[in-house]
Chain A
């Protein structure tokens, strides 16, 4: 069942990707099954914690290297090959920041939740499904036919 948080997350992802990163993510549930068998090495993994008193929610985003590089290139108006790793991770953290901010704007009209500082890294080993297991609620997107996965962690303490 789709929760208000997952609906808001979809909207926020769509807004952040398309407004400043010039890529259009299309929600595609089949991406999740495809992503399970993919090796995580080189994928970009980003997360940000959202908290309210004793409650913690982690927002996750996984993207393949080409998409992560293209996101940074589009934001910075550079060619993909000109983007270095630090620029890629910085642009990815900022994307998480925008997605998290948009999510809270949609679900938290009372201003009860606090967002932490986004983190990002490149995965080095294992399968993507092992990384995805950190989230409770997953959603898949196709970005120009390439998979991107978002997730939300526990929604209770």
Chain B
């Protein structure tokens, strides 16, 4: 089933890279929305559902952790929220995972790293989606 995806990153280059990586991995994408910060992502997620969010943590206006706190409070954390981040602080990553993020990919990343976590959480690109992915995936 084609995915509805939201990519959140203040770098337009990184949004483009993540989008290309999704396509290169073979995922069919029905809708690919983009937001440059957590505030805009929150507005989007209040109005529509998506299957996958790929979000940076370190952003202006509202960072990824604040976005997750808001979504958690509103009961709107999407089923597959993956962090794509340079953040190395365990306390922040742990809080994000506790708020509903399903895993994270550290930047810089190889495309294979992103494909691997998507396969685990969303299923193979042919649409064979997992009913339940592993919680708090951390590699």
| B58 near A76: Cβ-Cβ < 8 Å | no
| B91 near A111: Cβ-Cβ < 8 Å | yes
Give 7 A-B contacts (CB < 8 Å), ordered by A residue: A19-B108, A20-B17, A87-B12, A90-B11, A94-B14, A100-B86, A111-B92
C-alpha gap A117/B82 in the complex (Å): 21
Q: A84 to chain B: closest CB distance in Å?
A: 11
Scan B1-18; emit 1 where CB is below 8 A from any A CB, else 0.
000000000111110110
C-alpha gap A137/B20 in the complex (Å): 37
> How many residues of A are counted as interface, with CB atoms below 8 angstroms from the partner's CB atoms?
25
List the one stretch of A60-68, A101-109, A121-129 in contact with chain B.
A101-109
**The 6 nearest A-B residue pairs measured at CB:** A101-B86, A105-B88, A19-B108, A111-B89, A20-B108, A94-B11
Q: A23 to chain B: closest CB distance in Å?
A: 12
C-alpha gap A29/B133 in the complex (Å): 49
| B13 near A104: Cβ-Cβ < 8 Å | no
Contacts from A to B (Cβ < 8 Å):
15-16, 19-20, 72, 75-77, 86-87, 90-91, 93-94, 97-98, 100-102, 104-105, 108, 111, 115, 117
CB contact under 8 A between A101 and B14, given known A16-B108, A20-B107, A117-B60: no
Q: A7 to chain B: closest CB distance in Å?
A: 16
| B11 near A101: Cβ-Cβ < 8 Å | no
C-alpha gap A97/B109 in the complex (Å): 13
| A77 near B20: Cβ-Cβ < 8 Å | yes
| B58 near A97: Cβ-Cβ < 8 Å | yes
Q: B91 to chain A: closest CB distance in Å?
A: 6
Scan B88-108; emit 1 where CB is below 8 A from any A CB, else 0.
111110000000000000011
| A94 near B13: Cβ-Cβ < 8 Å | yes
* Chain A residues near B12 (CB-CB < 8 A): 86-87, 90
Q: B37 to chain A: closest CB distance in Å?
A: 11
B87 within 8 A of A: yes
| B13 near A91: Cβ-Cβ < 8 Å | yes
CB contact under 8 A between A87 and B108, given known A77-B20, A98-B86, A101-B87: no
Question: Which of A93, A101, A102, A105 is most buried by chain B, counting CB atoms within 10 A of its CB?
Answer: A101
Question: Which of B85, B86, B88, B109 is most buried by chain A, counting CB atoms within 10 A of its CB?
Answer: B86
C-alpha gap A76/B14 in the complex (Å): 8
Q: A98-B86, A104-B89 are in contact. List 4 more A-B contacts (CB 8 A).
A: A19-B110, A101-B88, A102-B86, A117-B58
* Chain A residues near B10 (CB-CB < 8 A): 117
CB contact under 8 A between A104 and B107, given known A87-B13, A90-B11, A91-B13: no
| A76 near B89: Cβ-Cβ < 8 Å | no
Q: B55 to chain A: closest CB distance in Å?
A: 14
